[in-house]
Amino acid sequence: MTTVAPRIQEETLQIKPRRDPFLIILWIVLVTFALVWIAPVVLIAFTALKSNAEIMATSAFTPPEAIAWNNFSGAWSRGNFETTFRNSAIITVIKVPLGLMFSAMAAYALARIRLRFGKLLLLFFLFGAMIPFQVMLAPIFTLVNGFGLIDTYPGVILPYLAFGVPYQVFILHGFFKAVPKELSEAALIDGASHVTVFRRIFLPISLPVLAALLILDFVSTWNEFAMALVLLQDRHMWTLPLGLMSFQGQFSTDYGQLNAAIAMTVFPAVLVYMIFQRYFVSGLTSGAVKG
């Protein structure tokens, strides 16, 4: 949260000296609501750091007295986190950059190269962004099984790519379409290929959008459950959400460790969000929300 502090100062300076009573009431309502909204997260964090004896003895929102780090080490080994964490990391680190690359390439071609079926292709991609894959778990299983890829990394990465690409193509297409012609025309007339123009001109200027998409994609890949449930049946191939689900089933009464397990599952996505969050709203607004 280091990036937040200077912005708060900047904004306090902008508050007009005349205090509007409406704004004061609004502020109180928003802060109260925010406290309620963050309460479950605080609860998880506190409980994860308490011993089971302390959980039973103290009320839910009392900060932990003696910090019980062993909840984390206990949950880590009992919940097989070493395996699930590694699997999640491998899948996410391969899938996210690869998916963004595929999407950016396709979005550039659809936005900047005149193609007879360009518009139709775009619509074809857009269609996929609207179709929930949760509806089609069985045929996805059948297909991946047909390729002999159940319980493998490619077996889960390929469908992840397929269902991530449409939305990203849609957003990046909107962004690339809005880039002024002058920026690429000179290079193209000088004989540069589209691949070069894409790499040297369009990729660098789209970094904020790519950062926003990176957060979204990292988070949704890291958190994905339904498809992993179907495609990864061997527990050595499980990802974090599958591990957490099984942990809940086995050790649901060990509250300290259960909450430590939740915290460890959630933490990496929250970290990535915090690192890239300043690009988030700005990246999504630039050309994206237009339509």
Which residues, numbered 62-101, are part of the site for other proteins (CB under 8 A)?
A: none
User: Residue 144 CB, nearest distance to other proteins (Å)?
Assistant: 8
User: Binding segment for other proteins among 63-71, 73-81, 178-186, 267-275 (CB under 8 A)?
Assistant: 267-275
Only segment of 63-71, 72-80, 179-187, 252-260 that touches other proteins (CB under 8 A): 252-260
CB of 67 to other proteins, least distance (A): 20
The one among 57, 66, 270, 275 contacting other proteins by CB under 8 A? 270
Among 89, 150, 192, 219, binds other proteins (CB under 8 A): 219
Under rule CB under 8 A, residue 208 binds other proteins: no
Candidate ranges 38-46, 67-75, 76-84, 179-187; the one touching other proteins (CB under 8 A): 38-46
Does 204 contact other proteins by CB under 8 A? Answer: no
Nearest-approach distance from CB 72 to other proteins, in angstroms: 15
**Residues touching other proteins: how many (CB under 8 A)?**
99
> What DSSP letter does each residue of the chain carry, written as one string?
-TTHHHHHHHHHHHS-SSPPHHHHHHHHHHHHHHHHHHHHHHHHHHHHTS-HHHHHHS-TTSPPSS--THHHHHHHHHTTHHHHHHHHHHHHHHHHHHHHHHHHHHHHHHHHS--TTHHHHHHHHHHHHHS-GGGGHHHHHHHHHHTT-TTSHHHHHHHHHHHHHHHHHHHHHHHHHTS-THHHHHHHHTT--HHHHIIIIIHHHTHHHHHHHHHHHHHHHHH--HHHHHH--SGGG--HHHHHHHHHHHHTT-HHHHHHHHHHHHHHHHHHHHHHHHHHHHHHHTTTTT-
Rank residues 83 and 246 by Cβ distance to other proteins and give the closer one: 246
